[in-house]
Amino acid sequence: MGRDVAGYQLIILLVNYLVMKLINKINIKKLIPLFLFLATLGIGIYLVWGRQGTTLEVKNSSQAPGGSLTTVDPNLPQSPISGLNCADASRRPIAVIFGNDAEARPLSGISEADMVFEMQIVEKLITRIMAVYVCGNPKELGSIRSAREDFIPLARGLDAILVHWGGEHTALEKLNAGIMDNLDGLKDEVVNFFRKAGILSPHNGFSSMTRLIRGAGKKGYSLENKFIGYPHLADRSIQNKAMTLTIGYSGQYAVKYDYDPANNFYLRWRGGTKEIDKNNGQQVAAKNVVIMSASSQAISEQYNTVQIEGEGKATVYQNGQEIAATWKKDAKDQTSKLFFYDSKGQEIKFVPGQIWVEIVDPSQNIIWK
The pLDDT confidence band at residue 11, using thresholds 50, 70 and 90, is: very low
For residues 322 and 92, give the distance between their C-alpha atoms in angstroms, rounded to a whole number: 31
pLDDT at position 331 is 95
> What whole-number distance in Å separates Cα of residue 145 and Cα of residue 132?
15
Question: Any idea which of 137-146, 188-197, 296-305, 310-319 has the lowest mean pLDDT?
Answer: 296-305
Q: Please check the confidence at residue 32 and state whether its pLDDT lies above 70.
A: no
Higher pLDDT, 61 or 365: 365
**What are 195's strand-pairing partners?**
205
Count Cβ atoms within 10 A of the Cβ of residue 201 and give its class: 0-12 exposed, 13-18 middle, 19 or more buried: exposed
The answer, yes or no, to whether residue 124 has pLDDT greater than 50, is yes
Dist CA 102 CA 106 (whole Å)? 8
Q: Give residue 6's pLDDT.
A: 44
Q: How confident is the model at residue 22 (pLDDT cuts 50, 70, 90)?
A: very low
User: At how many degrees (to 10) do helices 185-192 and 209-218 cross?
Assistant: 110
- What confidence category does residue 301 fall into, taking pLDDT thresholds of 50, 70 and 90? confident
pLDDT at 68: 65
Highest mean pLDDT among 40-54, 70-84, 145-159: 145-159
| 19 pLDDT more than 50 | no
Buried b (16+ CB within 10 A) or exposed e, 1-37: eeeeeeebeebeeebeeeeeeeeeeeeeeebeeeeee
Percentage above 90 pLDDT, the chain: 76
pLDDT surpasses 50 at 65 = yes
3-state SS string over 280-325?
A: CCEECEECEEEEEECCEEECCCCCEEECCCEEEEEEEEECCEEEEE
Segment 133-160 shows an average pLDDT of 97
Q: What is the pLDDT of residue 18?
A: 47
Q: Which helix (H) or strand (E) holds 116?
A: strand 115-122
Between CA 336 and CA 247 the distance in angstroms is 27
Q: What is the pLDDT of residue 67?
A: 64
Q: Give 214-269 pLDDT, tens digit per residue.
A: 999 999 999 999 999 999 998 999 989 999 999 999 999 999 999 999 999 999 99
Mean pLDDT of 110-119: 98
What's the pLDDT score for residue 7?
Answer: 46
Q: Give the pTM.
A: 0.83
